[in-house]
Amino acid sequence: MSALQERSVAVQGRQVRVLSAGPARERAVLLLQGGMAGVAPYCGGPHMWAPDLERWLAGQSLFVVDLPGHGGFTLAEGAPSLDLIGGQVAALMEALGPARFDVVGHDHGALVALWLGLNHPRLLASVSLAASPLAAPTGDSVGNLTLAGLPWPRASALSQAWALERISYSHHHIDRALLESCVTAADSQVYRHAAAIMGEDGYERSYLPSVRATKSRLYELCRGEGFPVPAQVIWAANDPLTPPERGFALYEVLAAGQPATRFTLVNRAGHLLFREQPEAFYRALMAFHEALA
């Protein structure tokens, strides 16, 4: 992450940490992390994407931000919901400078990307939706036991390593630097505050219903006028949390009304496909963005 420049941007009266690289342009790539404080068993943040991120996305105008509730982005007051978090991200995007973004969302970040498509399409050049169990149609799905026996305490390196290995195809990308970054991120005031809100009952009573409502709106839109911006669904062939069929179901929803829709499947990768197969993942992103230019 060393070549990324860190700065602080004022958003809705608070300072938000933003990492960036590359030239300033009217169209930029924005990476939105996965995981959710108090819910995901690993602590996400910009450290998750991939070592040498600026190398994989060389030449791009690139922004990497925390999801609200993580690192340098405090969760706003109020009942936690996709509308609250999405609104915070949209306000940050307005403050960043570029007119339009190619938003790349992983997991919960992909949900935020879809929310942005529904509510602020003019901010978007495209969305790329990566390995997101909740963003895909879930139907009456079978329970997933991948993370059923989480060790305690959650924020320890032991627990983080256990969870990261469980959601991966291979453990080889999990190194000391990643675990230290996860533990450090879990120790922040911002994260503990959000984790407490989500952990009590905010996630189940407030956030999940808002996800459901957003997806209902998405399905209605895709049955009608269609998703308003180009969309890429990029899934891993070996994700223990969400199989390729789920990603393809999301693709089919979006493809019905959006001509520029791509489905990409990456081999020998799990939930963190951008760490396990960074070359294939970032190359697919760049090819999609290039064809839209």
| Interface with other proteins (CB under 8 A), residue from 100, 262, 271, 275 | 262
Q: Which stretch binds other proteins (CB under 8 A): 72-80, 99-107, 160-168, 277-285?
A: 277-285
CB-based contacts of 215, cutoff 8 Å, min separation 6: 114, 135, 137
Residue 181 in contact with other proteins, rule: CB under 8 A: no
Question: Helices in 171-277 by DSSP H: which ranges?
Answer: 176-186, 189-197, 208-223, 244-255, 273-276
Please say which residue, 78 or 137, places its beta carbon nearer to other proteins.
137
Q: Is 5 exposed, middle or buried (0-12, 13-18, 19+ CB in 10 A)?
A: exposed
Residue 279 in contact with other proteins, rule: CB under 8 A: yes
> Nearest distance from residue 119's CB to other proteins, in Å?
23
Residue whose pair of structure tokens reads 């933003």 in the numeric block: 18
Across the strands, what pairs with 105?
Answer: 32, 129
| Interface with other proteins (CB under 8 A), residue from 130, 266, 272, 273 | 266
Residue 260 in contact with other proteins, rule: CB under 8 A: yes
| Interface with other proteins (CB under 8 A), residue from 105, 134, 258, 274 | 258
Please say which residue, 88 or 264, places its beta carbon nearer to other proteins.
264
Give the span between the Cα atoms of 122 and 90, in whole angstroms: 11
Residue 8 in contact with other proteins, rule: CB under 8 A: no
Among 272, 33, 34, residue whose Cα is nearest residue 169: 272
CB-based contacts of 79, cutoff 8 Å, min separation 6: 202, 206
Is the separation of the CB atoms in 186 and 42 below 8 Å? no
Q: Which stretch binds other proteins (CB under 8 A): 113-121, 182-190, 215-223, 262-270?
A: 262-270
| Interface with other proteins (CB under 8 A), residue from 162, 166, 264, 275 | 264
Interface characters, 214-253, with other proteins (x: CB under 8 A): ----------------x------x------x---x--x--
Q: Which stretch binds other proteins (CB under 8 A): 35-43, 89-97, 153-161, 257-265?
A: 257-265
Residue 267 in contact with other proteins, rule: CB under 8 A: yes
Please say which residue, 48 or 50, places its beta carbon nearer to other proteins.
50
Give the span between the Cα atoms of 178 and 49, in whole angstroms: 10
State the DSSP code for 81.
-
Residue 58 in contact with other proteins, rule: CB under 8 A: no
Is the separation of the CB atoms in 166 and 277 below 8 Å? no
Give the span between the Cα atoms of 169 and 174, in whole angstroms: 11
Across the strands, what pairs with 8?
Answer: 17
Please say which residue, 177 or 292, places its beta carbon nearer to other proteins.
292
Residue 288 in contact with other proteins, rule: CB under 8 A: yes
Binding site for other proteins (CB under 8 A): 230, 237, 244, 248, 251, 255, 258-268, 278-280, 283-284, 286-288, 290-292
